[in-house]
Amino acid sequence: MLWKGRRQSDNIEDNRSNGGGGLPGGLGGGPGQFRIPIGGRAGGGGLSTIIILVVLYFGLKFLGIDPIQVLGGGGGSLLPGDNSQISQSDQPGQSAQANDEMKQFVATILAETEDVWTGVFQANGLTYEQPKLVLFSGQIRSACGFASSASGPFYCPGDHKVYLDTAFFDQLSRQFGASGDFAEAYVIAHEVGHHVQNLTGVLPKFNQMRQRMSEADANQMSMRVELQADCFAGVWGRFTAQKGILEQGDLEEALNAAKQIGDDTLQKKMQGYVVPESFNHGTSAQRQRWFKAGFDSGKLSSCDTFNNPI
Ligand SMILES: [Zn+2]
């Protein structure tokens, strides 16, 4: 990706020097937890998926849709579960220089998302509110609770911020087998996709509804939310490609990343078998397909994961 020399966003909050302890962990696991997949949530209601889809449809006016008021609640993570431990040595392993380049890269990709989404919102008569991106090292407190490197990147709808641990890209490459700058860009674009969902009302609606859902229904709905974020990342990728800054192999890097972090691939790798009922981000094939749907069309209307088979 030809990212160097392009505009860098001012919306980076560099919290890396504060990492490594000392933060009181009082918020962990509270309401508004940042993970889309919350296990063991009580609540029996069990609205049928059909009804929920119909209700969610009204949150989708952006793909034809009115933005609903933004409520608080949980957010979106890139990866399911807490199975992604980062070894200690990874954290101080990067040199200051590498970190600096990493920061410049992240700030550039964030700026690219700002430009694209500002334009897309304008085209729909809306105003895009730019999210902040917090770089952290070790652990961090967000409005959605306390998080550590093991959480993976996530978006917190409560404070409209994307959280990214500086060691994650190393992990993505080494542990998940997804390397390349456009793979990293996909990760950022996916989290920004959750921010778009927050602004359009999809995320607040989901967080509200899942409290009354069975875990199985919530997982199903979570997948649709996640796959839409992948599709939005694809839409962003399309606009980025049109600027002529993608290189040979970039698209493949993103598609490979989508594959490597699919629920089935991750479960096979982590536990040796898959439990489809527990999927909450989508399979490798689904994640690739929805990223590609957004990338191929460049249209939000191709990202309606709520009214189409996924
Ligand atoms: Zn996500």
Q: How far is the CA of 218 from the centre of ligand 1 (A)?
A: 14
Q: How far is the CA of 152 from the centre of ligand 1 (A)?
A: 10
Strand-pairing partners, residue 135, are 14, 164
User: What is the Cα–Cα distance from 264 to 88, expressed in whole angstroms?
Assistant: 27
The helix or strand, by DSSP H or E, that contains position 12, with its residue range, turns out to be: strand 12-14
Q: How far is the CA of 229 from the centre of ligand 1 (A)?
A: 6
Q: How confident is the model at residue 159 (pLDDT cuts 50, 70, 90)?
A: very high
Q: How far is the CA of 282 from the centre of ligand 1 (A)?
A: 10
Q: How far is the CA of 184 from the centre of ligand 1 (A)?
A: 14
Q: How far is the CA of 189 from the centre of ligand 1 (A)?
A: 10
* Residue 16 near residue 91, CB atoms below 8 Å: no
Q: How far is the CA of 251 from the centre of ligand 1 (A)?
A: 19
In this predicted structure, what is the pLDDT of residue 30?
Answer: 32
| Of 155, 145, 136, residue with least CA distance to 26 | 145
Q: Inform me whether the pLDDT recorded for 291 exceeds 80.
A: yes
Side chain identity at 59, as an amino acid letter?
A: G
Q: How far is the CA of 34 from the centre of ligand 1 (A)?
A: 10
pLDDT > 70 fraction of the chain, expressed in percent and rounded = 74
* Residue 165 near residue 172, CB atoms below 8 Å: no
Q: How confident is the model at residue 95 (pLDDT cuts 50, 70, 90)?
A: low
Q: How far is the CA of 206 from the centre of ligand 1 (A)?
A: 13
Residue 301, judged by CB atoms within 10 A of its CB (0-12, 13-18, 19+), counts as: exposed
pLDDT > 90 fraction of the chain, expressed in percent and rounded = 69
Residue 42, judged by CB atoms within 10 A of its CB (0-12, 13-18, 19+), counts as: exposed
Q: How far is the CA of 196 from the centre of ligand 1 (A)?
A: 12
Q: How far is the CA of 50 from the centre of ligand 1 (A)?
A: 22
Q: Evaluate if pTM is beyond 0.95.
A: no
